Amino acid sequence: MVGHREADAARDALDRPLERRVLERGDAAAAVAHEVVVVLAVGPVALVARDALADVDALHEPQLAQQLEDAVDARAPDAATLRAQAVVDLLRGQGAVVAVEQLDDGVAGAAAAVARLGERHERVLAPRRLSRRRHRLDRSGQMQIRLIPIRIDGEAVPTVSPSPTVLEPFQLPFVQRALVELLLLSVLAGTLGCWIVLRGLAFAAHGAAAAAFPGLVLADGLGFAASLGGFGAALLFALAVGRLGMHRREAHDARTALALVAALAVGVVLASDVFHSAASVESLLFGSLLAIDPGDVRLAAAAALLALVATRLLGARWLATGFDPAAARALGVRSSLPDVLLLALVAFGAVATLSAVGALLASALLVVPAATTRLVRERVGSWQLATAALAAAEGVLGVWLAVQLNAPPGATIAVVAGAAFALVALLPRTAEASA
C-alpha cells in the first residue's frame, strides 16, 4: 500500500537526524562479550535507541531528568504535505471513503518534488463517472479510494502561495465543472423554477424528477442514452399527472403522490432485481455533482436556454392562465399548448438537474430558490433574476462546503437552500410593513 510506504518514509526521515545524536547503538560484539562497559550519556534530551541487546537501564544511578522518547507520529513531517490533506487524508487513505471515485493517473510512484497546488492538479485526476454507463460501485454503494497519489519524500516543497486559501477547492477541475453545471442550472431555477412555483407545479416537478429515476435505470440496463430514458419517463409523468394539477389541485395531490411512489418503487425493483445495478441507485437518487461529464453540462445548458426562450415567448400566457384560467380563456388563450409545453419543460428541467442533485433532490434547485425569493419579490421579472442569483449562490456555497466537509454535494446544496428559505421566511418583512 502506498500508505505504508509513506509512513515508513516519514519515519526514516525522522530517524535520520535523530541518529546523529544517539551515542550508542546495538553492538553485535556485546552479545558474546564477558564484560561490557557502558558509558552513560548524561543529558536530558538524548535519545537511546531501544535496541534489544545493548539497552541498559541504569536504575540505581540517578538521572538529571526523566528521559522520554518522542513519539514517532505516523504523519508526514512536512507541513506543506499536511495541508494537502484538505482533499484527501493521505495517511489514513485505507480507511477513508469519499463520495466520488478518485482515480489515479498511474504515475503515483514519481517522487519528485512538485509545487503543492500543481501537484493536486497533476496527480489527482478528475473523477470518472460512477454510474449510468461504465462504472459500478461496490456493494456498500460507495467507492473506496483505490489509489491516492501522494508525495513520499520528505523534502521541502516549494509552495506557490504562502498559505492555502478558502478558494482552493475551486481550483480542482472537477469542482470547476460542477460550478459551471450549477451556474447553468441556476438560470433554469430562475426561469422555470419561478413558473413552477407560480403555477403550483412544485409537487409535479418533484414527481417528474422521481419518475425519471426508473427511466434512468431502464436506460442503464437496456443500454440507451440515460437522459433520453429519464426524459421519457419524466415527460410521461408530467403530462399525465401535471396537466390536471394546474387547474384542480385538491383531487390531484394524491394521484401525484401515488405516481411518485410507484416510480421510485419501480426504479428500485428494476435496479436491484432486473438489471442488478442497485449500487448506482444512490447516485441516481441524490446526484453525483463532482462526477459529472461534459454531456451533463451540455444538457444543463440546453435546458437553461430552452427555459429562457420559452419564458420570453410564452411567459405572458403562462402568467395569464395561472392568474385566472377562465379569464385567460376569455382572453383567447384557449389552446392548451402553452401549458403542455410548460409541463414538458418541467420534465426536461427535472432531467437536467438529475446529474447534479439527483431524482429526489431536484426540488432543491427547481423549487426551493424560487420559493425563497418569492417571499421578498413582487414582480415576475425581478423575482426570476433574484432566484437565479440565489440559486447560483446556494450552489457555489454548497459545493464549497461539500468539498471542505467531504459531504455529498447534492445534499449539501439542498441543506443550504433549505436554510436560506428558513432565514428569509423568518426575516421581518419590511415590504409588508410599508405596504
Partner 1 sequence: MSALVSADALAVGYGGAPVLRDVGFALQAGERIGVLGPNGGGKTTLFRALLGELRPAGGSLEVRARCASVPQTERSRLDFPVSALDVALMGTIPGRAWWRRPSRADRTAARAALARVGLADRAERTYGELSGGQRQRVLIARALVQDARVLLLDEPFSGLDAASGARLEALLLELAGEGRGVLIATHDLEQARRWDRVLCLNGRQIAFGDPAKALSHDVLAATYGGAIVRLPPADPDPTAPYEVILPPHHHHHDHEAT
* Binding interface with partner 1 (CB under 8 A): 198, 312-314, 316-317, 319-320, 322-324, 326-334, 338, 374, 377-380, 383, 435
- Residue 426 CB, shortest distance to partner 1, in Å, is 20
Residue with smaller CB distance to partner 1, 129 or 377 = 377
Please identify which residue in the block is written with the cell numbers 518522542. Answer: 70
- In whole angstroms, the minimum distance from the beta carbon of 211 to partner 1 comes to 27
Q: How far apart are CA 139 and CA 137, in angstroms?
A: 7
* Minimum distance, C-beta of residue 383 to partner 1, in the bound complex (Å): 6
Task: Give CA separation, 292 vs 133, 277, 287, 309, 389, in Å.
Answer: 12, 19, 9, 25, 22
Say how far apart CA 84 and CA 168 lie, in whole Å: 11
Least Cβ distance, residue 312 to partner 1 (angstroms): 7
**Shorter beta-carbon distance to partner 1: residue 227 or 321:** 321
Phi, psi of 135 (to 5 degrees): -90, 150
Task: Output 127 or 338, the one with its CB closest to partner 1.
Answer: 338
Residue 9: all three cell numbers together: 518514509
* Residue placing its CB nearer to partner 1 in the complex, 230 or 322: 322
Answer left, alpha or beta for residue 313, where phi above 0 means left and psi between -120 and 50 means alpha: alpha
C-beta of residue 121 within 8 angstroms of C-beta of residue 171: yes
Beta bridge partners of 158: none
Task: Name residue 163's amino acid.
Answer: S
Q: Is 376 helix (H, G, I), strand (E, B) or coil?
A: coil
Nearer of residues 253 and 324 to partner 1, judged by Cβ = 324
Minimum Å gap between C-beta 338 and partner 1 is 8
CB of 170 to partner 1, least distance (A): 34
User: In the complex with partner 1, which residue's Cβ is closer, 313 or 419?
Assistant: 313
CA–CA distance, 348 with 359 (Å, rounded to integer): 12
